[in-house]
Chains A and B, each alone.
Chain A
């Protein structure tokens, strides 16, 4: 822009941006502070806005008194497997949708988009019955299968956008050189699209890591619980142990936060491309 900012405009801008930052970051700060207070100190008035004595008691209790380590491993397994498989499957379907004109292409897109409008838990009851019939209730395999199905539509839409950024001359050249379509896809297109694929994968991973209602419905044994189910268990009792809760929250958020910090650029790009194209 050409015009110069007035002093007033600058000050207003700085104040607004600072306020947004403080309001956005404060809840995270607060949960970290809470988790680092000794269990008794959490309920001490007046409130201390910064920890005077740092205590890791809440974290230690999480791993000794509950099986939080196991829940974390379960979540890691489920989210990793589900998002990997979903990304691979979506890569294939997105390729077809981006490159070929065929009867029913519009219908497939519409069917995928519709799943984004209708949330999964509308079918929560019937899904539970289906999983019971397939003997997949309270099994990691079952949860993984459901998560794959949930990730596929949006991931396909997102990846389709990335395919459309890559000229099809690329894989045609490879195929003339004797590659099969599948080899051309993985040897030629995938390397070019790596940022987009990484973004889709991370997006899937975070969604699976955070998913609540399906895991609460489908998982119940301590052995198979994922983090969200465990966290939900914390509130079912009348008194919430806020010390453990905040420690667990920090441990849940930090991995996704780290991933997002590295990939936020690609995710934004993927989301805006996917959503705006609709």
Chain B
């Protein structure tokens, strides 16, 4: 099964039954008159202008701030300082904690999201009564903003009146209330639990869509050949959805990396700056007015993610070729 046919298949899944017959139209190279050229330009212009002014211009002008002293509290001195902003970041004693937290946050959220999401997708693949109703209910975290999710969990993890402590004590799992958000280790656990809760649905949906694109004939053939459930899973299901799964994970890593909302709402980076990840820390220094350092950190983020994406895609490639 080629990548392309899999993609096409994916768009013909049950979820897309509302769309017309799935068919991909590769744009033809046609000679067009200058009139068509002008129309194209006119159609493209509004989008390009908006994105250029409000996204790319601030991003690029921000990049040069990374090499300048640029503090809102003292705008009299905006001289070029070379790599000083970067140096200040690396010399910051908190920097190690922030990097470690970011890795823990990404890996700790991602792995359970993939595993639970995968299991959910496998269970949802087969039709059962109330399936569509069930799916609609399970989708609900999507409609909620990251900030609000943070607030919901902040309230549930409240040390005194939180339902989590209450539940754990009633079931006898703990004796005394846990100060969830007041102690760094517990606080990290709490924010990651909130993020897992948020992200499982996303994986379930993406994986389910991929699963539904695997043709039944392949399963039938495997069954005729006497393959068991486990064998079928590893030899048919997994390879067939590997590309989609791989890309979904890549997108998700980038997205979780860049997702400060939950942390910002639950702990604000505290206690004592111990639960900051790179992006929440960046917001913190932006709010303090040090645009120079914030931009330097932004560049580090962009560079790291690009590097990661390149290596990740390179690692994925041989698997594609195998099939």
Contacts and interface: CB of A to CB of B under 8 A. Distances in A.
Interface string B127-169: 0000000111111111111111101111110101101001000
Interface residues of A, number: 104
Contacts of B32: 100
Contact of A96 (B44, B123, B153, B154): B44
A168 B22 CA distance: 14
Contacts of B56: 111, 115
B54 interface: yes
A194 to B, nearest CB: 9
A153 B51 CA distance: 8
Given A130-B58, A164-B25, A24 B137 contact: yes
A139 B200 CA distance: 37
A269 to B, nearest CB: 4
B40 A102 contact: yes
Interface stretch (A51-59, A61-69, A241-249): A241-249
B23 to A, nearest CB: 7
B148 A253 contact: yes
Interface string B251-264: 10010001011001
Contact of A27 (B15, B29, B152, B206): B152
Contact of B19 (A92, A195, A211): A195
A247 B113 CA distance: 29
A264 interface: yes
Interface in A203-224: 206, 209-213
B138 A20 contact: yes
Measured as residues with beta carbon below 8 angstroms from the partner, the interface class of chain B is 35 or more
Nearest to B290: A125
Interface centre among A115, A117, A126, A148, by most chain B C-beta atoms within 10 angstroms, is: A126
Interface string B28-40: 1110100010011
Interface string B219-239: 110010000010000000000
B167 to A, nearest CB: 9
Given A212-B146, A260-B139, 12 more contacts: A28-B144, A93-B43, A98-B27, A101-B28, A102-B40, A108-B44, A122-B298, A125-B65, A125-B72, A127-B54, A264-B136, A264-B139
Top 6 closest A-B pairs, CB basis? Answer: A210-B145, A149-B54, A123-B58, A93-B47, A125-B291, A122-B298
26 contacts: A2-B220, A17-B123, A17-B134, A28-B140, A28-B144, A31-B152, A43-B160, A45-B161, A92-B43, A98-B27, A100-B30, A100-B36, A115-B55, A118-B258, A122-B62, A124-B283, A130-B53, A149-B51, A164-B25, A168-B25, A242-B161, A257-B143, A260-B139, A272-B205, A272-B209, A277-B7
